[in-house]
Structure 1
């Protein structure tokens, strides 16, 4: 990721943060729509899960300018997700739902440059997480 892409991700996330509860709901609704099989991996009450999602995203987004600082947490998260039943093929659905949510939440602020920056961020982190959890390097966009 370029420094400009990091800046775009951080600035755009700051615009979504005020609507974090709504954004998390939109994300999970979309994820379960495009990948209904993953619904069973989540609790019936998604309140805490939505909060965790947005808190984790905030940590990752804020750490993008020093990626090495978030990699240990990303590794641990990836390994935990294996125990929940997550598989490498789930990562593209998650990424697609995330980008779709950001597009809806940002409206006109979702520019091609912002989309490219988020795609790069997700591809970088998901590829790392997949390699940590499953021992294979893959990009999930």
Structure 2
């Protein structure tokens, strides 16, 4: 990620943060729409899960300027997700749902540059998480 991409991600997330509850609802609704089998990995009541999602995103986005500060937590999170049934092929689906959510939440502020920056951020972190949870061979696929 370039410094300008990091800035774009951080600035755009700051615009979504005030509507974090709505964004989390949009995200999970979209995720379960495009990947119904993953619904079974989550509790029936998603209230706490939604808060965790937005809290985690806030920490990660805030730490993009210094990835070393967020990588240990990302590694632990990836390993926990294995226990929940997450597989490497779920990461692109989650990424697509996240980008869709951000596009809806940002409206006209969702520019091609912002989309590219978020795609780079998600790709960097998801690749790292997959390699941490499943090994480098899975991350390369």
TM-score higher than 0.5 here? yes
- Residues 84-117 of structure 1, C-alpha deviation per residue, up to 9 Å, x if partnerless? 0000000010000000000000000000000000
Please show how residues 1-141 of structure 1 align to structure 2 within 5 Å: 1-136=1-136, 138=139
Q: Which runs of 4+ in 1 moved over 3 A?
A: none
Secondary structure of 2:89's counterpart equals helix
Please list every run of 5 or more consecutive structure 1 residues that lacks an aligned counterpart in the other structure: none
1:139 deviates by 6.3
Secondary structure of 2:43's counterpart equals coil
Structure 2 Cα separation of the partners of residues 139 and 35 of structure 1: 22
Report the CA distance shift for 1:38/1:125 in structure 2 as closer, same or farther (over 3 A): same
Structure 1 Cα separation of the partners of residues 56 and 82 of structure 2: 17
1:26 deviates by 0.1
RMSD: 1.1
Secondary structure of 2:86's counterpart equals coil
Report the CA distance shift for 1:10/1:139 in structure 2 as closer, same or farther (over 3 A): farther
